[in-house]
A and B are shown apart, each in its own frame.
Chain A
Amino acid sequence: MDSDAFAGFYLRSAPALRAYLVRVSGNTALADDLMQESYLRFLSASCPEGGEVNYRRYLYRIATNLLRDHWRRPRAACIEDVPEGLLAARDALSSIDSRAILDPAMARMRPRERQLLWLAHAEGYSHREISEITGLSVAGIRLLLFRARHKIARLLRKRIDSVRGKV
């Protein structure tokens, strides 16, 4: 991949990757750091064959590994410790509706659940593709995703009801 091809690929893939990292990590500054590192590692490694679809999947795999490395560090830097209010306040990406409904629900999910939900429902990846990105088994993903979806749907309904109640 040459410089111009990379510039094009970056412009097409960066917003989606940043959204994934922001939603899953809940921290805009961390997401920016991880995004830079993801692209640097992507460029330093030998790119996979098969065009942009495979490039993207490979990029998400790098980003997912970086997130996992981040969560493996000491508890002080763990996403579980970030308060819900801070999570919502830090994210300047989304609109008021999205912030009011999705972010509080996401903050109550586990990092792995957030990852699977975003990859499946925002990015539209199949179970097999998610398996390639995260390294989990397809059967495990199916079960985890089913539970995570059920859990977040319940939280989202509650949030929607409370937002409607306020209005």
Chain B
Amino acid sequence: MRFRTCSYENELSQALRDGHWPKGCGQELRAHVDACCRCNDLVLVTQIFQQARSESEHAADDNSPSLLWWRAQLRRRNAAADRISRPITIAQAFAWFITVLVAVVFVASQYRHGLHWATWRSEFIPSRILHQLLLAGTGQINLNPFLLTSGFAVLALLTAFVVYLAWEKP
């Protein structure tokens, strides 16, 4: 089978589309269709497909346009809600990542210095820590300003996050 074109094809296609075939067409075109395999195929296929389409027009359809409209509105709303909550989800994932990273770094550093897990208990005396903080507040002890600033920044961030969660929950 070789692909070839026929000069009558466009005219014939138009006649078939408009429903002019065969009565609305000239003798010349009809004679050509009888002789040309390609145009003969076109007429046969188009007529059968058009018949099938017109029969399908009467098919029962259980869908209701108003129900589809309502479902589409619902889907649109859900998509909008997803779009809005995406930054929060990303922030939560980022917070988890940072937490895990800090924990891993801490465990790794502790492992490098030897696992003396219980030693902190002997050093942890609340009254002594409070005394140190009071001294730092009065300027009698020089604390590392970088550590102090970063500590307050982390505390502020955590406070803001907790306040946000507390506002969001109700």
> Is there an interface contact between B49 and A102, defined as CB atoms closer than 8 Å?
yes
> Is there an interface contact between A7 and B65, defined as CB atoms closer than 8 Å?
yes
Q: Which of A22, A124, A149, A157 contacts B56 (CB 8 A)?
A: A22
> Is there an interface contact between B57 and A43, defined as CB atoms closer than 8 Å?
no
> Is there an interface contact between B69 and A149, defined as CB atoms closer than 8 Å?
no
Residues of B within 8 A of A79 (CB): none
> Is there an interface contact between A117 and B49, defined as CB atoms closer than 8 Å?
yes
> Is there an interface contact between B41 and A149, defined as CB atoms closer than 8 Å?
yes
Residues of B within 8 A of A156 (CB): 44-45, 48
Residues of B within 8 A of A92 (CB): 59
Interface size class of B (residues with CB under 8 A): 20 to 34
Q: Which of B21-29, B72-80, B137-145 contacts A (4 or more CB under 8 A)?
A: B72-80
Residues of A within 8 A of B (CB-CB), count: 43
The binding surface of chain B is classed by DSSP as helix
Residues of B within 8 A of A10 (CB): 63, 65, 68
> Is there an interface contact between B62 and A102, defined as CB atoms closer than 8 Å?
no
> Is there an interface contact between B50 and A121, defined as CB atoms closer than 8 Å?
yes
Q: Which of B50, B61, B69 contacts A18 (CB 8 A)?
A: B61
**How far, in angstroms, from A123 to B57 measured CA to CA in the complex?**
12
Nearest-neighbour CB distance to chain A for B68, whole angstroms, equals: 5
> Is there an interface contact between B45 and A94, defined as CB atoms closer than 8 Å?
no
Residues of A within 8 A of B69 (CB): 3, 6-7, 43
Q: Which of A3, A6, A121, A150 contacts B49 (CB 8 A)?
A: A121
**How far, in angstroms, from A92 to B50 measured CA to CA in the complex?**
17
Interface members, chain B 66-96 (any A CB < 8 Å): 66, 68-69, 71-73, 75-76, 79
> Is there an interface contact between A102 and B48, defined as CB atoms closer than 8 Å?
yes
Interface centre among B45, B57, B61, B79 (most CB of A within 10 A): B45
Q: In this assembly, does B53 line the interface, its C-beta being within 8 Å of a C-beta of chain A? A: yes
Residues of B within 8 A of A32 (CB): 62-63
Q: Which of A34-42, A48-56, A67-75, A81-89 contacts B (4 or more CB under 8 A)?
A: A34-42
**Which chain B residue has the least Cβ–Cβ distance from A153?**
B41
> Is there an interface contact between B49 and A93, defined as CB atoms closer than 8 Å?
no
> Is there an interface contact between B59 and A124, defined as CB atoms closer than 8 Å?
no
Q: In this assembly, does B55 line the interface, its C-beta being within 8 Å of a C-beta of chain A? A: yes
> Is there an interface contact between B59 and A157, defined as CB atoms closer than 8 Å?
no
> Is there an interface contact between A93 and B71, defined as CB atoms closer than 8 Å?
no
Q: Provided the pairs A3-B69, A36-B68, A44-B79 are in contact, do residues A153 and B53 lie with their beta carbons within 8 angstroms?
A: no
**How far, in angstroms, from A48 to B40 measured CA to CA in the complex?**
37
Q: Provided the pairs A3-B69, A6-B65, A6-B69 are in contact, do residues A40 and B75 lie with their beta carbons within 8 angstroms?
A: yes
Residues of B within 8 A of A14 (CB): 61, 63
Q: With A44-B75, A98-B55 given, can you name 17 additional A-B contacts, CB distance below 8 Å? A: A6-B68, A14-B61, A15-B61, A18-B61, A19-B53, A43-B73, A44-B79, A93-B59, A95-B55, A98-B51, A98-B52, A121-B45, A142-B3, A143-B3, A150-B41, A156-B45, A157-B44
The 7 A-B pairs of least Cβ separation, nearest first, read A19-B56, A43-B72, A153-B41, A121-B49, A10-B65, A122-B53, A7-B65
